[in-house]
Structures are given as C-alpha cells and as structure tokens.
C-alpha cells in the first residue's frame, strides 16, 4: 500500500549556533477528508539541541488517486505536494521578513479556508481552518523570530533593510529546486547591503 | 496584591451523557520588568455515565486593568479581576452561540478581536499578528470542540432539522451568556420542545 511520499527538505543556517530544517511529507490518512495530508516539520537545532514543531499544510488525495496510473506517478505527485508545502513555508517566512503582514494574513486565511467558512456560513470550516492557520502561524513565527534576532544582533543599525533583503533571498531560495541549503552568515557578515546588491564587477 | 481572581463558572447540560463546564480565571503574570495579567478559559467535558472528563484550556485575553486598579484600591482590583473572569466565560458562550447560529463573520470577528488581531495587522512587526492568530486559533479550538458536541447531539436527535434547531440553541446560548444570575443551561428540554413544534410555530412564538 502507498502510505507515504518522499521527504522534501530545505535547510537554513542562521548562525554558527542556530540552524533549522523544514521538511515535508505527504501521508496517507484514511480518516481525513482528502485521504491524505501533507505535514510540515520545522526542526530547530540550537547548540546541538533539537526542537521540532509540526503543522499540517494541506489535505489532498491526489497521490492516492494516482496509484491507479502507477506507483511512480503516485510518488511523483506526493513529492509535488511536499515540494509545495516547503515552498509555501519559505514564502510565508519571506512575507514576514518583508513585513508584508496583510498578505501574510490573507494568504494564510485563504489557504486554510477561513474566508470560505465565513462566506458559506459554515462554522465548522471556519473553526477548523482557523485552528490549522494558527498552527501554521506558530511555525512561521518561530522561524521568523530566530532570523530576526540574528539580524538584530548582527545588524542593529540597518535591521529593516537586511530583513527585507533576506526575505527576498529566501523566496529565491524557495524557487530554486536544486539548492537545499541557504546560509545567512555571509549575508550578515557583508560590509554593507550595497556590497550584496551591487555586483562585484561594477 | 491580587494574584488571581475567583473562578467564574457556567455549565451547559447537552444531553444525559454529556455536560460542559466553562470556567475562567484571571491570573497575574510576573515579567522581569513589569507585571501583566491574562484570563484563561477552561472547557471541561464531563461524561456522567462513564465518570470520565476531558479538560482543555486556552488564553481568552490579556488584561492589565486589575493591576492598574491595585494602585488605587485592592478591593476594586479584586472585583475587576473577577469581572474579567466572568466576562471571559460570557464571551466564550457568545462565540459558541454565534457559531451555532452560523453567524460566521461575527464569530471570526469576536475570536480575532480578543487579541487585537486587526490592529496588529497594521503594525510593522509581523510577530504580533502571528501571535494573535495563534492565540485566536487556540481559543477557536475550544469553541470548535464545544460546537462539535452540541452539533452532534442535535444531528442525532433531529437529523432533518439540524440548522433550525442549531439557530435556536445558539440564540439561547447568546442570551445565557449575558445572564448574570443563571449559572446552568439545560439544553435537553429546549431541544425536545423544539422538536415538537413546527418552524412556523417557533417563528410565531419568537415574535
């Protein structure tokens, strides 16, 4: 039986002491509405100690349905689901770092169908969505706080500019399927933001 | 010094098998630089026949008023802390009532405004908005559990008239939430009475 998809992971090195890993996997769960859910785990490693936080990104039975076409297609579909979850996590983190709070809220409440519950007068959908959105917000907040604290310590004078720049870089990192690790240390050790933005050849 | 308030408590008897108790209490939270306060709501699900119970808890609001009042009068501070606890129980029941009435917009507004979510959206720091959403979702989880039990009881008793009965029970809960005297609401007679009447009769009786 096709019970789990492959794990998709991305790693962000915040400093010499702190790094975190985001990993996602599609699971077959017969009791959920969509017969499957993509779960995201955020592992924070700090001075060798690891803390894990979990949230559900989406319910989907697409990988399960694809089993009819073949196991390879089903695995590929499950990988796509996991890739989507990791991309979205990086996207929300990038929105938070760019301080796009309204977009952060809208995208989160839209995805978890809180707005749909409000429109369709369905209390269950609203409360269920709100609970999932809260769990997801917790994950984003934890990752954001670690990055924010590191920038605040290293770059107290141009905190906002660095935050915005790192937010943009995290979005590029999310788009790049080949790269698995994003290191913040060289960015924070640069002399100025201009050094990072203007190409060295100029 | 006011450390905590009295426990505010209300009970809802859903069926012969299930009782819900909503409790709240205001607590002083000592931070290194200053003191603040929070009100916690606890939902206790009791199964009298089985002799089991489930306890769930969440923060309902942050309230510094008792600490500020303490400078003037300790008695007033204690009273304010008790009022904060009583209000938290009332708000919980009101949100539950709104959920049963399918007034989802009002319900979402009530839940999110507990933690000033709308205000924090316009502040530059996303941490505040994310924290508010997290706290609102934890309170929403308690409401969802209470809602699910009442909904299931109505579905099992009257599968054909779920929406109508939910609205009536929701209205009764909203009235109960503002009632300062009544401490227990028994839904059993309400549901059985509703089942005997037609929708027209119910509408007429409300007029």
Beta carbons of A126 and B147 less than 8 Å apart? no
Query: Any idea which of A80-89, B49-58, B88-97 has the lowest mean pLDDT?
Result: B49-58
Report whether pLDDT(B206) > 90. Answer: no
Angle at B201 between CA B196 and CA B204, to 5 degrees: 150
Beta carbons of A124 and B144 less than 8 Å apart? yes
Query: Higher-confidence residue: B159 or A133?
Result: A133
Please indicate, yes or no, if residue A189 is contained in any of the structural domains: yes
* Whole-number pLDDT of residue B204: 64
* Whole-number pLDDT of residue B63: 87
Report whether pLDDT(B207) > 80. Answer: no
Average pLDDT value for chain B: 87
Residues 114-153 of A with CB under 8 A from B: 114, 117-124, 126-128, 130-135, 137-138, 140-141, 144-145, 148
A108 and chain B in contact, CB less than 8 A: yes
Chain A residues lying within 8 Å of B102, measured CB to CB: 121-123
- DSSP labels for chain B? ---B-PPEEEEEE-SSS-EEEEEEEEEEEE-SS-EEEEEEEEEEEEETTTTEEEEEEEEEEE--HHHHHHTT-HHHHHHHHHHHHHHHHHHHHHHHHHHHTT-HHHHHHHHHHTTTHHHHHTSS-HHHHHHHHHHHHHHHHHHHHHHHHHHHHHHHH-TTSHHHHHHHHHHHHHHHHH-SS--EEEHHHHHHHHHHS-HHHHHHHH-
What is the distance, to the nearest Å, from the Cα of residue A159 to the centroid of all Cα atoms in its chain?
22
Q: What band does B68 get if pLDDT is binned at 50, 70 and 90? A: confident
How many domains are contained in chain B?
Answer: 1
For residue A196, the distance in angstroms to the closest alpha carbon of chain B comes to 24
Residue of A nearest to B149 (CA): A124
Report whether pLDDT(B90) > 60. Answer: yes
CA A94 – CA A90 distance, rounded (Å): 6
Candidates B58, B105, B125, B133: best to mutate against A (most CBs of A within 10 A) is: B133
- Domain interval for residue A158: 8-197
Please indicate, yes or no, if residue A160 is contained in any of the structural domains: yes
Chain A residues lying within 8 Å of B126, measured CB to CB: 95-96, 99, 101, 104, 144
For residue B74, the distance in angstroms to the closest alpha carbon of chain A comes to 37
Angle at B165 between CA B161 and CA B171, to 5 degrees: 160
Chain B residues lying within 8 Å of A102, measured CB to CB: 121
Chain A residues lying within 8 Å of B124, measured CB to CB: 99, 101
CA B168 – CA B91 distance, rounded (Å): 18
B113 and chain A in contact, CB less than 8 A: no
Please indicate, yes or no, if residue A137 is contained in any of the structural domains: yes
Chain A residues lying within 8 Å of B104, measured CB to CB: 117-123, 126
- Domain interval for residue B111: 8-206
Segment B141-159 shows an average pLDDT of 91
Query: Higher-confidence residue: B2 or B172?
Result: B172
Please indicate, yes or no, if residue B77 is contained in any of the structural domains: yes
Beta carbons of A123 and B107 less than 8 Å apart? yes
Report whether pLDDT(B73) > 70. Answer: yes
Report whether pLDDT(B198) > 80. Answer: no
Please indicate, yes or no, if residue B174 is contained in any of the structural domains: yes
- Smallest Cα–Cα separation from B80: which of B146, B168, B6, B189? B6
Report whether pLDDT(B195) > 60. Answer: no
* Whole-number pLDDT of residue B165: 87
B150 and chain A in contact, CB less than 8 A: no
Q: Which residues of A70-89 are buried (b: 16+ CB within 10 A; e: fewer)?
A: eeeebbbbbbbbbbbbbbbb
* Whole-number pLDDT of residue B196: 60
Q: What band does B190 get if pLDDT is binned at 50, 70 and 90? A: confident
* Whole-number pLDDT of residue B193: 67
B134 and chain A in contact, CB less than 8 A: yes
Please indicate, yes or no, if residue B3 is contained in any of the structural domains: no
Residue of A nearest to B132 (CA): A134
How many domains are contained in chain A?
Answer: 1
Please indicate, yes or no, if residue B118 is contained in any of the structural domains: yes
Of A105, A122, A133, the CB nearest to B121: A105
* Whole-number pLDDT of residue B203: 60
Q: Is A48 left (phi over 0), alpha (psi -120 to 50) or beta?
A: left
Please indicate, yes or no, if residue A167 is contained in any of the structural domains: yes
Beta carbons of B128 and A137 less than 8 angstroms apart: no
For residue B121, the distance in angstroms to the closest alpha carbon of chain A comes to 6
Please indicate, yes or no, if residue A193 is contained in any of the structural domains: yes
Beta carbons of A126 and A118 less than 8 angstroms apart: yes
Q: What band does B201 get if pLDDT is binned at 50, 70 and 90? A: low
Q: What's the pTM? A: 0.89
Please indicate, yes or no, if residue A1 is contained in any of the structural domains: no
Chain A residues lying within 8 Å of B140, measured CB to CB: 127, 130-131, 134
Q: Give, for all 202 residues of chain A, the pLDDT tens digit.
A: 678 899 999 999 999 999 999 999 999 988 766 689 999 999 999 988 999 999 999 998 888 888 888 889 999 999 999 999 999 999 999 999 999 998 998 999 999 999 999 999 899 999 999 999 999 999 999 999 999 999 999 988 888 899 999 999 999 999 998 899 999 999 988 877 777 777 655 5
Candidates B125, B129, B137: best to mutate against A (most CBs of A within 10 A) is: B137
* Whole-number pLDDT of residue B20: 94
Beta carbons of A21 and A181 less than 8 angstroms apart: no
Residue of B nearest to A144 (CA): B127
Q: Which residues of A174-196 are buried (b: 16+ CB within 10 A; e: fewer)?
A: beeeeeeebebeebbeeeeeeeb
Of A121, A122, A131, the CB nearest to B141: A131
Please indicate, yes or no, if residue A35 is contained in any of the structural domains: yes
Segment B92-119 shows an average pLDDT of 90
């Amino acid at each position: 039986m096709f019970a789990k998809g492959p794990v998709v992971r991305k790693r962000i090195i915040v400093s010499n002491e702190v790094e975190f890993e985001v990993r996602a996997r599609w699971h077959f769960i017969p009791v959920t509405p969509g017969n499957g859910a993509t779960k995201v785990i955020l592992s924070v490693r700090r001075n060798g100690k690891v803390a894990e936080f979990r949230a559900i990104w989406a319910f989907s039975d697409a990988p399960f349905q694809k089993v009819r076409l073949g196991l390879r297609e089903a695995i590929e579909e499950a990988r796509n689901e996991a890739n989507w979850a990791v991309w979205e996590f990086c996207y929300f983190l990038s929105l938070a770092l760019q301080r796009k709070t309204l977009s952060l809220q809208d995208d989160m409440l839209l995805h978890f169908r809180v707005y749909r519950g409000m429109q369709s007068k369905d209390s269950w959908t609203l409360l269920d969505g709100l609970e999932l959105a809260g769990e997801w917000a917790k994950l984003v907040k934890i990752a954001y706080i670690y990055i924010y604290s590191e920038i605040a310590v290293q770059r107290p004078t141009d905190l906002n500019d660095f935050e915005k720049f790192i937010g943009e870089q995290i979005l590029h990192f999310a788009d790049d399927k080949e790269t698995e690790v994003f290191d913040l240390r060289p960015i924070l050790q640069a002399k100025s933001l201009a050094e990072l933005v203007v190409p060295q050849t100029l | 010094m006011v450390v905590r308030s009295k426990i505010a408590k209300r009970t809802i008897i859903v069926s012969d098998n299930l009782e819900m108790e909503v409790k709240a209490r205001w607590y002083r939270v000592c931070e290194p630089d200053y003191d603040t306060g929070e009100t916690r709501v606890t939902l206790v699900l009791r199964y009298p026949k089985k002799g089991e119970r489930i306890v769930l808890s969440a923060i309902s609001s942050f309230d510094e008023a008792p600490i500020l009042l303490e400078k003037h009068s300790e008695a007033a501070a204690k009273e304010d802390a008790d009022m904060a606890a009583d209000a938290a129980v009332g708000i919980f029941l009101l949100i539950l009532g709104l959920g049963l009435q399918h007034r989802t917009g009002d319900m979402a507004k009530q839940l999110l405004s507990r933690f000033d979510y709308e205000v924090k959206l316009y502040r530059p720091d996303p941490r505040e908005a994310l924290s508010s959403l997290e706290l609102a979702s934890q309170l929403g989880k308690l409401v969802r559990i209470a809602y699910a039990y009442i909904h299931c009881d109505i579905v099992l008793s009257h599968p054909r008239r779920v929406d109508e009965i939910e609205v009536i029970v929701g209205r009764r809960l909203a009235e109960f939430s503002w009632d300062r005297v009544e401490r227990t609401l028994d839904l059993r007679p309400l549901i059985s009475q509703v089942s005997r009447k037609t929708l027209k009769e119910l509408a007429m009786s409300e007029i």
